[in-house]
């Protein structure tokens, strides 16, 4: 299938009566259907074979069949777009309506076209439907929508992407990432931004109170208005009762039975088995015993552009710390250098599932297999040593990025030192941890 995108940003269509019209790419087609001129995309787009033959500018392609039979496709003077001619006339979508006219001369860009295969059409529509981070053109402006401009240009914030130099799209990272050419040949990376923050909420009332404080801090101090998912064995009524005011509108429950502390801690890796998780970039897992103390968007945007799963470094070496998986590495004959530190598994920034679901699944499988050998209660820290072991063996984790945003803290944590998120993992005892979290959150709110 090959469709034709006009320089006005519209697609050639045909009504039920057979009349040629053009319709906006993102709008319903109404009484028309897309005009398919046949399987001609590879022949009409400039690709590697055209470069090798050095014949990109010599295109003169007569269309033998289909709705445009008798028309000839020729390369325009820009060396990438096309014109359609017959008997000295050009096909020309009217800029003042949806009719298609015949004209004698080149009215660029109106009377020029780009061929789109079905895959590229789907990607273009997905590009226009998403929010995007710009890797290098404007790294600090936050997510931006995409719009289709006249002249085959997709505009995202200050970046103009000329489709003439980008088709067919490079799709290895799609739908979360797209590498494009700007200014004809310069590389730019686009990162889709659709964040998800998720928790695993299990245990007694003390744990659930910590969880409620964490969510409250996320949507207030953290200024987060995106999706939130809870892996839990609690009912919707039980979760609702944790919040004195209305539960956040975008908070969803993912029912997940779990029988004991080992299962509570392992549940965070079950996110990889939830099909909808693959629609998000990034995903941030957060333990219940933490608070967001600054807006979370900068951290989420950094994770979305990372190439590895992001975790918070611990001050303990891998080599001889069981909590960091040192005993597992030793049993496997691995000898990490003495200055290689482990990480805390209580916050995990996952860029996307397309790239990293395999690592999460590997951790879950290794945990199951390890406990089959040493017993279900055989690992004191349950998942954290396993995660550190898998990370060392697979080189799939980054323990630096989150250090800019996350503090591991005890009861003396000072809100004046806040950098984004504080994890009270060094406060001993659930009751004391709640007191510390409540006091800390109150002081952060008092600071405005």
Percent of the chain's residues with pLDDT above 90: 88
User: Domain extents for the chain?
Assistant: 2-117, 119-192, 196-446
Non-local (6+) Cβ contacts of 41 within 8 A are: 1, 2, 115, 116, 117, 120, 168
First to last CA, the chain: 57
- Evaluate if residue 30 carries a pLDDT over 90: no
Give the tokens for residue 404.
Answer: 């800019």
CA–CA separation, 291 and 303 (whole Å): 18
2-117 and 196-446 agree in CATH topology: no
- Evaluate if residue 160 carries a pLDDT over 90: yes
**Least confident stretch, 30-34, 326-330, 395-399:** 30-34
Non-local (6+) Cβ contacts of 167 within 8 A are: 45, 114, 115, 116, 120
Give the tokens for residue 94.
Answer: 């009217």
Question: How open is the CA angle 170-195-403, to the nearest 5 degrees?
Answer: 100
pLDDT of residue 427: 96
Give the pLDDT band of residue 132 (cuts 50, 70, 90): very high
pLDDT of residue 105: 87
Report the CATH architecture of 2-117. Trefoil (2.80)
Three-state secondary structure along the chain?
A: CEEEEECCCEEEEEECCCCEEEEECCCCCCCEEECCCCCCHHHHCCCHHHHHHCCHHHCEEECCCCCCCCCEEEECCCCCCEEEEECCEEEEECCCCCEEEEECCCCCCCCCEEEEEHHHHHHHHHHHHCEEEECCCCCCCCCEEEEEECCCEEEECCEEEEHHHCCCCECCCCCCEEEEEECCCEEEEEEECECEEEEEECCCHHHHHHHHHHHHHHHCCCCCCCEEEEEECCCHHHHHCCCCCCCCCCEEEEECCCCCHHHHHHHHHHHHHCHHHHHCECEEEECCCEEECCCCHHHHHHHHCCCCEEEEEEEEECCCCHHHCHHHHHHCCCCCCCCCEEEEEEEEEECCHHHHHHHHHHHHHHHHHHHHHHCCCCCCCCHHHHHHHHHHHHCCEECCHHHHCEEECCCCCCHHHCCCEEECCCCCCHHHHHHHHHHHHHHHHHCC
Q: Residue 421 — φ and ψ, nearest 5°?
A: -150, 135
Non-local (6+) Cβ contacts of 246 within 8 A are: none
Give the tokens for residue 164.
Answer: 């003439």
Give the pLDDT band of residue 28 (cuts 50, 70, 90): confident
pLDDT of residue 137: 79
> Model confidence over 302-348: pLDDT tens digits?
999 999 999 999 999 999 899 999 999 999 999 999 999 999 999 99
In sequence order, the β-bridge partners of residue 228 are 197, 251
Burial of 296 (C-beta count, 10 Å sphere; 0-12/13-18/19+): buried
Give the tokens for residue 68.
Answer: 């445009």
* pTM given for the model: 0.94
Give the pLDDT band of residue 249 (cuts 50, 70, 90): confident
pLDDT of residue 188: 95
pLDDT of residue 106: 84
Homologous superfamily of domain range 196-446: Spore Coat Polysaccharide Biosynthesis Protein SpsA; Chain A (3.90.550.10)
């Amino acid at each position: 299938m090959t469709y034709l995108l006009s320089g006005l940003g519209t697609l050639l269509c045909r009504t039920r009566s057979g009349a040629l019209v053009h319709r906006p790419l993102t709008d319903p087609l109404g009484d028309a259907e897309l005009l398919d001129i046949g399987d001609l995309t590879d022949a009409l787009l400039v690709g590697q074979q055209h470069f090798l033959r050095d014949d990109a500018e010599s295109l003169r392609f007569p269309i033998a069949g289909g709705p445009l039979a008798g028309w000839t496709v020729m390369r325009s003077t820009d060396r990438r777009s096309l014109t359609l001619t017959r008997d000295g006339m050009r096909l020309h979508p009217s800029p003042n309506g949806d009719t298609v006219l015949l004209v004698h001369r080149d009215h660029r860009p109106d009377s020029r076209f780009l061929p789109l295969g079905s895959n590229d059409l789907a990607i273009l529509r997905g590009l226009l439907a998403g929010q995007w981070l710009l890797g290098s053109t404007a790294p600090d402006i936050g997510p931006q929508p995409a719009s289709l401009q006249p002249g085959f240009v997709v505009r995202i914030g200050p970046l103009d992407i000329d489709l003439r130099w980008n088709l067919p799209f490079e799709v290895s990272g799609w739908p979360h990432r797209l590498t494009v050419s700007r200014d004809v040949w310069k590389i730019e990376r686009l990162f889709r931004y659709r964040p998800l923050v998720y928790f695993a909420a299990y245990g007694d009332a003390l744990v659930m109170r910590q969880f409620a404080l964490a969510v409250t801090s996320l949507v207030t101090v953290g200024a987060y208005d995106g999706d939130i998912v809870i892996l839990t064995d609690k009912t919707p009524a039980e979760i609702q009762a944790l919040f004195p005011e209305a539960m956040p509108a975008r908070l969803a429950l993912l029912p997940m039975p779990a029988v004991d502390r080992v299962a509570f801690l392992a549940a965070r890796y079950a996110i990889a088995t939830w099909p909808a998780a693959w629609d998000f970039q990034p995903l941030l897992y957060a333990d219940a015993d933490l608070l967001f103390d600054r807006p979370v968007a900068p951290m989420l945007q950094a994770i979305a552009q990372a190439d590895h799963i992001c975790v918070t470094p611990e001050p303990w070496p891998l080599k001889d710390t069981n909590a960091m998986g040192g005993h597992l590495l030793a049993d496997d004959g691995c000898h990490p250098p003495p200055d290689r530190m482990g990480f805390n598994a209580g916050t995990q920034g996952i860029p996307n599932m397309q790239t990293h679901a395999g690592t999460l699944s590997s951790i879950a499988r290794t945990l199951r297999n390890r406990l089959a050998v040493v017993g279900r209660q055989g690992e004191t820290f349950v998942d954290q040593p396993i995660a550190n072991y898998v990370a060392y063996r697979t080189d799939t984790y980054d323990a630096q990025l989150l250090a800019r945003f996350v503090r591991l803290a005890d009861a003396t944590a000072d809100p004046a030192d806040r950098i984004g998120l504080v994890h009270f993992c060094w406060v001993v005892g659930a009751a004391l941890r709640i007191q510390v979290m409540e006091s800390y959150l109150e002081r952060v709110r008092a600071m405005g």
